Amino acid sequence: MAGIFIYSEKTDIAAELISFAKASGQDAYAITFEAEAAEAIRNYGAKKVFVLKGDSPIAENYAKSLAAFLKNESANLFVVGATARGRDLAARTAGYLGCGMVSDASAISYVDGTLLADRMLYGGAVIQSEALTGMVVVTIAAGKFTAAAAESAEIVSVDVTADNRVKLVNSTPIIKEGCDLRVADKVVCVGMGMDKPEDLKMAEELASALGAEIGCTRGIAEERHWLPVEQYIGISGAVVTPNLYIAMGVSGQVQHVVGVREAKIIVAIDKNEKAPIFRAADYGIVGDMYEIVPLLIKAIKTNK
Ligand SMILES: Cc1cc2nc3c(=O)[nH]c(=O)nc-3n(C[C@H](O)[C@H](O)[C@H](O)COP(=O)(O)OP(=O)(O)OC[C@H]3O[C@@H](n4cnc5c(N)ncnc54)[C@H](O)[C@@H]3O)c2cc1C
C-alpha cells in the first residue's frame, strides 16, 4: 500500500497534512494511537485511518512498531506535524527505519517520488533546499496547507507493541499566561528600545486602538521578564501571520524577523535608520517611539 502516511496528535494539523498528501496525487493514510483521535480525523480525506493500539499513553513509545508498520505498508513518505511530540516520534521512527529525515521543513512538495523540502539554516539566514528519494520522514509546522472536509474514511485497528522503558508517571498542564499570537490579526511588538516596563502602557494603548495583540522580542520576555514567554516572536518563539505587524524599538535581527516574515504589512518604528528591521518593513518610521507612538494613537482614534 504505497502512499503518504501522516501523523499529528493535533487533529487540525493532521487534517492539513492529509490535504498535502492528496494535493501530491497520493493516497493519504492517517495514523493515530487512540480511537477518539481516529474519529476526529476520519472526515478529512484520508483513504484509511489506522489506529495503532498498544498499552502505552506515550506516542513516542510506538516508534519501533510504527517503523515496522510503515515498512510493511511500503509507505513512500511519512509526514509529521512539527510539535514537540511529533518531532520526537518522527526522529525515533526515522532512526528505526534507517532512512532520511527533514526536520522542521518550511515548505514541502512531492513530485514523481521525490520529496522537495526547504528548511531554514543559521537561525533563518539561509534556506536550504533538499531533494530526497526513497522513504523519508519529514516534520512540518502547522498552517502550511489548508484542510478540507471529505467523506468518512475507514478506521482500521492494528495491534502493536509499545516500548515501555519510558513510563508516564504524572502530567501537569502548562498554564499559559499570554494570548495566542499565532492567530492574531494585528500585532504590536515591543522591542528592547523601550526604556521601562511602565511604558508598556503606551504599546497597550496602541494595540487597543487597533484591536491588536501585544508581542515582543526575546529579550523583553526572557531577560527583562516584562511579558510572558508565550508572547515573544521569532525563531525560538511564536511565528505570527497577522495582517498588520507594528514593531516599536525592534532592531530586526534575523532570529526575530523569521517569526514575522509572513505578516501582510510590516510597519517599523526605530530611531536608528540603519536598523535591519527597515529592510523587512513595508513602512518605516525613523524616530523616537516616545514621540511617534502617541501621535499614531491620536491619529487612529481621531480617524475611527
Ligand atoms: C539562537 C538564537 C535564537 C534567538 N531567537 C530569538 C527569537 O525567537 N526572537 C527574538 O526576538 N530574538 C531572538 N534572538 C535574539 C536576537 O538575535 C536579537 O538579539 C533580538 O531579537 C533583539 O531584540 P530587540 O530588537 O528587541 O533589541 P535590540 O537589538 O537591542 O534593538 C533595539 C532597537 O530599539 C531601537 N530603539 C532604542 N530606543 C528607541 C526609541 N526610543 N525609539 C525607537 N527605537 C528605539 C534601537 O535603535 C534598536 O534598533 C535569538 C538569538 C539567538 C542567538
Same domain for 8 and 151? yes
Give domain status of residue 176, yes or no: no
For ligand 1, pick from 202, 224, 270, 293 the residue to mutate: most ligand atoms within 8 Å of CB: 270
Domain-ending residue, one of 128, 159, 190: 159
Same domain for 147 and 188? no
Same domain for 56 and 130? yes
CATH number for the domain harbouring residue 215: 3.40.50.1220
Residues with CB under 6 A from ligand 1: 123, 191-193, 217-219, 232-237, 249-251, 253, 255-256, 259, 269-272, 275, 288-290
Domain-ending residue, one of 159, 189, 209: 159
Which domain does 264 fall in, by range?
Answer: 181-302
In what order do the strands lie in the sheet containing 283-286? 213-216, 186-190, 244-248, 265-270, 283-286
Same domain for 209 and 68? no
Same domain for 32 and 104? yes
The residue whose CA is least distant from atom 51 of ligand 1 is 255
Give domain status of residue 59, yes or no: yes
Domain-ending residue, one of 91, 124, 159: 159
What amino acid occupies position 210? L
> Rounded distance, CA 221 to CA 240, Å?
16
What pLDDT does 102 receive?
97
Give domain status of residue 174, yes or no: no
Domain count of the fold of the chain: 2
For ligand 1, pick from 104, 217, 285 the residue to mutate: most ligand atoms within 8 Å of CB: 217
Provide the residue-wise pLDDT of the chain in tens; the chain has 304 residues.
689 999 999 999 999 999 999 999 999 999 999 999 999 999 999 999 999 999 999 999 999 999 999 999 999 999 999 999 999 999 999 999 999 999 999 999 999 999 999 998 887 778 999 999 999 999 998 888 999 988 899 999 999 999 999 999 999 987 777 788 988 999 999 999 999 999 999 999 999 999 999 999 999 999 999 999 999 999 889 989 999 999 999 999 999 999 998 899 999 999 999 999 999 999 999 999 999 999 999 999 998 7
Residue 70, all three cell numbers: 510503515
Q: Sign of the C-alpha dihedral, residues 201, 235, 166, 81?
A: positive
> Rounded distance, CA 106 to CA 125, Å?
13
Same domain for 142 and 203? no
User: If you measure from the C-alpha of residue 220 to the centroid of ligand 1, how many angstroms do you get, rounded to a whole number?
Assistant: 9
**Cα 303 to Cα 152, 209, 296, distances in angstroms:** 50, 11, 11
DSSP designation for 220 = I
Same domain for 53 and 185? no
CB neighbour burial string for 271-296, b if at least 16 within 10 angstroms, e if fewer: eeeebbbbebbeebbeeebeebbeeb
Residue 96, all three cell numbers: 528505526
The residue whose CA is least distant from atom 11 of ligand 1 is 217
Same domain for 68 and 104? yes
pLDDT digits (tens, 9 = 90+) for 235-265: 889 989 999 999 999 999 999 999 998 899 9
Give domain status of residue 234, yes or no: yes
Give domain status of residue 218, yes or no: yes
User: If you measure from the C-alpha of residue 190 to the centroid of ligand 1, how many angstroms do you get, rounded to a whole number?
Assistant: 9
Give domain status of residue 244, yes or no: yes
pLDDT digits (tens, 9 = 90+) for 17-64: 999 999 999 999 999 999 999 999 999 999 999 999 999 999 999 999
User: If you measure from the C-alpha of residue 227 to the centroid of ligand 1, how many angstroms do you get, rounded to a whole number?
Assistant: 15
What pLDDT does 51 receive?
98
Give domain status of residue 165, yes or no: no
User: If you measure from the C-alpha of residue 106 to the centroid of ligand 1, how many angstroms do you get, rounded to a whole number?
Assistant: 23
168: CB partners within 8 A, 6+ apart: 56, 57, 58
Same domain for 147 and 199? no
User: Which is the closest atom of ligand 1 to the Cα of 216?
Assistant: 11
Residue 165, all three cell numbers: 522503558
User: If you measure from the C-alpha of residue 254 to the centroid of ligand 1, how many angstroms do you get, rounded to a whole number?
Assistant: 9
Same domain for 20 and 61? yes
> Rounded distance, CA 182 to CA 83, Å?
14
What pLDDT does 211 receive?
95
Give domain status of residue 172, yes or no: no
Same domain for 197 and 288? yes
pTM for the model stands at 0.75
CATH number for the domain harbouring residue 58: 3.40.50.620
User: If you measure from the C-alpha of residue 257 to the centroid of ligand 1, how many angstroms do you get, rounded to a whole number?
Assistant: 10
Residues in a beta bridge with 158: 52
User: If you measure from the C-alpha of residue 125 to the centroid of ligand 1, how many angstroms do you get, rounded to a whole number?
Assistant: 16
For ligand 1, pick from 231, 255, 286 the residue to mutate: most ligand atoms within 8 Å of CB: 255
Same domain for 198 and 276? yes
**Cα 261 to Cα 193, 198, 235, 242, 282, distances in angstroms:** 21, 29, 11, 10, 11
